[in-house]
Amino acid sequence: MVNLRDILARTWRGFRGRPCRFGAPGRRALPGRLAVLALLALGVPGAGRATVVSWGSTVVAGPDQLAGLVQVAAGGYHTIGLRADGALVATGYDWFGQAAPPAAAHDATAIAAGYLHSLALVSGGAVVAWGADDDGQAQPPAPNGGFTAIAAGGYHNLALGAGGVVVAWGRDDFGQAQAPPANAGFIAIAAGGFHNLALRSDGSIAAWGRDDDGQCQVPEPNSGYVAIAAGWRHSLALRADGTVVAWGNNDYGQCVAPLPNAGFTTIACGFDHNLALDDDGALTAWGRNDAGQGQALSPNARYTAVCGGYGHTVGLRPDGGVDAWGLRDDAQCGLAVPNVEFLGVAAGQDHSLALRSDGFILAWGDNAQGQCDVPLPNQGYVRIAAGRAHSLAITAGGAAVAWGRNTEGQCNAPAFPLVAIAAGGTHSLGLAAAGFVLAWGGNAQGQALVPAPNTGFVAVAAGGTHSLGLKAGGTIVAWGNPADGRCAVPAPNQDFIAVAAGLAHSLGLKADGSIVAWGADDAGQCRVPAGEGPFTAVAAGDRFSIGITANGTVVAWGDIGPSGQLLPSPNAGLKAIAAGATHALAARSPMPSAAPGAPVPAAPGARLLPALPNPFNPRTTIRFELDAPGPVRLRVFDLRGRLVRTLADDVLGAGLHEVSWDGRDDGGRLLAAGAYRCRLEAGGHAATRGLLLLK
């Protein structure tokens, strides 16, 4: 039988040469195939100034969201924060859903984070658990109530009940899920990788579970202890005199007490490093430090609490905000800047990009190939795209910039002005204003050989080893690897307005808001759900697909990976989407209602002006401005998101345009009185206004 945890421990970046089953945990294995490549950012329909939302294998939070906290907890590669009102916020690795707190956990009084799972103690003393559950660690035992404290270990948990009794559950190969001897009178608990500590009211410590590094051999005298913490293979305790004592594995010096060893009031363990606060809140850190997790971020920083994960450290500041440092490749330290003012997103195999309204690009995730090292000066960008392990951007002047993996020349961008870009597995595409496509990088499957005639293109998309181009007349041209039919555009090849390319499948969005999918369908990524839509944007992932409906919700199909989280929560107000190998991104912007007569905020390029008159009966004039010529769609939807009238679907010139609507649907039938929404889509941008039809 294949054990997923063993596969995770043996593969990817976290393998440290230790025994995978009982050694330090390893990084998870991503699909060994190429990833998906999301197209654009600013060019995604409806990308207004928004916050970034991520779901699937990674979730993200900015410093503005990791605020107002009263507790923090660090798991293997994720971080959880607890607010005073009991609400939770999380950032980081979510492969098993460990960073997606369920609704039942949002009344929490305490939190804890294990390697790949999480816990919350809610009102009434019940434990809520979520995330990896292959050892039953996400299944609290009955009766589930009356607990006063919780602790999460590698694959097991502890809870402290009435009378100081410890309850344990989950993986039990070393007896770590068994109750300790003389199970009563405990006042604190700590769970390590495969061992436990419990502190008695008399200041002595009970230790049980795995002991091959001596992590259960409490130093004598076993008395006078006031706090405990457990790492992966070592233990830490605080004595009443303010000194710390550490025992167990010492591969990284984590059991060598810092000097001066005095004045400490709070302790915590990461996997192989230790943290201690003095009575002034100053932090001392020691032990493993390969990612900077074993040192203080600043000598002047002050914290009320600290916690450590596999390779990161989190400090809770007195103002309720956090500092987080160390490993960042899963966003476990949160976003580097406030999560506001973003115009759009792009997703690569295991990295992400977001474009801010001031032209700054935020990059996070896997940076092994430098795909997150945005070239300086990081400003003035207007488009972004993310490939397997490389990134692309366009400046306001049309210059293409590329960074990251360049093994096949995918970062050798041409010195030619571009208006759109797409990044594939090892190739890149650029669209010139004149309508021809430039391609560079990997070409083993012909994915960089643009078919003739290379004219009339208005959009491009790059998949694993194939490419798509959208012509001004609404037809799609596909080239590159023909396997699985990914380049065989279904008939009738007409009326398309957008394209997306996944690892081995393709998507096309039609003018009527329907989606056509073709290519590999091993996970259902080409089985578009019936009865959804109309759609306004599409994105293709490794083995999944997503689309945005006219009312701002996401519809998803296929397989996003073990998290199974195909949809964001809440699923509303989304303006742009991107799909990676096992994660998805969206820009969410709860746009305020525009003041009467004011232009609707929208990305540069298209502006939808107030309709006159509004309210109206029987006719109104809808006005809009275009900065450049190009395809335009102007449509009217009812409040349920159903398309009722297409007012314009043509190529128009730059400038002011006016279209009249008589309150009828496409069949000529007079519509009922009520509210409708008019949506303008032009040049990859979108804006919406409300209309009120009177009788």
pLDDT for position 590? 53
CA-to-CA distance for 92 and 59, rounded, in angstroms?
5
Q: Read off the pLDDT of residues 174-209 as tens digits, 9 standing for 90 and up.
A: 999 999 989 999 999 999 999 999 999 999 999 999
Whole-structure pTM value: 0.79
Q: Alpha carbon of 306 to those of 62, 229, 275, 509: distances in Å?
A: 18, 12, 7, 48
Question: According to the model, what pLDDT value does residue 683 have?
Answer: 66
Q: Please report the pLDDT score of residue 4 as a whole number.
A: 31
pLDDT for 675 equals: 73
Determine if residue 441 is left, alpha or beta; phi over 0 gives left, psi from -120 to 50 gives alpha, anything else beta. Answer: left
Q: Picking from 219-223, 372-376, 622-626, which range would have the lowest pLDDT averaged per residue?
A: 622-626
Mean pLDDT (the chain) is 88
Q: What are the angstrom distances between the C-alpha of 91 and each of 60, 98, 330, 358, 502?
A: 5, 10, 8, 24, 26
For range 240-266, the mean pLDDT: 97
- pLDDT value of position 640: 58
The dotted CATH code for 606-693 is: 2.60.40.4070
Query: Nearest CA to 387 among 311, 440, 329?
Result: 440
* 509, 515, 516, 520: CA torsion to nearest 10: 110
Considering only residues 124 and 274, tell me which one the structure prediction assigns the higher pLDDT: 274
| pLDDT band with cut points at 50, 70 and 90 for residue 656 | confident
Q: Specify the pLDDT at position 195.
A: 98
Mean pLDDT of 199-226: 97
Across the range 552-580, mean pLDDT stands at 90
pLDDT digit string, tens, across residues 382-393? 999 999 999 999
- Does residue 673 come out as left (phi exceeding 0), alpha (psi in the -120 to 50 range) or beta? beta
Q: What is the C-alpha to C-alpha distance for residues 230 and 189, in angstroms, rounded to an integer? A: 9
Question: Does 27 score more than 50 pLDDT?
Answer: no
In this prediction, residue 684 carries a pLDDT of 62
637 compared with 273, residue with greater pLDDT = 273
pLDDT computed for residue 627 by the predictor: 77
Q: Which helix (H) or strand (E) holds 198?
A: strand 195-200
pLDDT at 685: 66
Question: Which pLDDT score, from 0 to 100, does residue 566 have?
Answer: 86
Q: Do 227 and 267 form a contact (C-beta atoms < 8 A)?
A: yes
| Rounded percentage of the chain residues whose pLDDT exceeds 70 | 89
| Cβ-based neighbour number of residue 2 at 10 Å | 5
- Which range, of 36-50, 108-122, 126-140, 242-256, averages the lowest pLDDT? 36-50
Question: What's domain 342-588's architecture?
Answer: 7 Propeller (2.130)
Q: What is the pLDDT of residue 641?
A: 62
Smallest CA-to-CA distance from 308 within 76, 153, 100 is with: 76
Other Cβ atoms less than 10 A from the Cβ of 514: the count is: 16
Distance from CA of residue 418 to its chain's centroid?
Answer: 29
Q: Which residue has the higher pLDDT, 189 or 551?
A: 189
Binning pLDDT at 50, 70 and 90, where does residue 575 land?
A: confident
Say how far apart CA 507 and CA 527 lie, in whole Å.
11
Mean pLDDT within 343-371: 96
**Which of 145-154, 168-177, 237-246, 681-690 is the least confident region?**
681-690
Do the beta carbons of residue 49 and residue 41 sit within 8 Å? no
**How many whole angstroms from its chain centre is CA 511?**
30
> By the 8 A CB rule, do 642 and 689 touch?
no
Within this chain, domains 66-326 and 342-588 share the same CATH topology: yes
Residue 602 above 50 pLDDT? Answer: no
Cα distances from 523 to residues 69, 541, 558, in angstroms, run 40, 11, 5
Fold of 66-326: Methylamine Dehydrogenase; Chain H (2.130.10)
- Indicate the Cα dihedral angle 569, 571, 573, 579, nearest 10°: 90
Domain ranges of the chain: 1-30, 66-326, 342-588, 606-693
Tell me the pLDDT band of 609, cut-offs 50, 70 and 90.
Answer: confident
What is the arithmetic mean of pLDDT over 296-322?
Answer: 96
What angle (nearest 5°) sits at the alpha carbon of residue 363, between those of residues 357 and 369? 145
Q: Which of 399-403, 406-410, 505-509, 644-648 has the lowest mean pLDDT?
A: 644-648
Whether 38 shows a pLDDT value over 50: the answer reads no
Helix (H, G, I), strand (E, B) or coil at 162: helix
Q: Is the pLDDT of residue 397 over 50?
A: yes
Contact 463, 478 (CB under 8 A): no
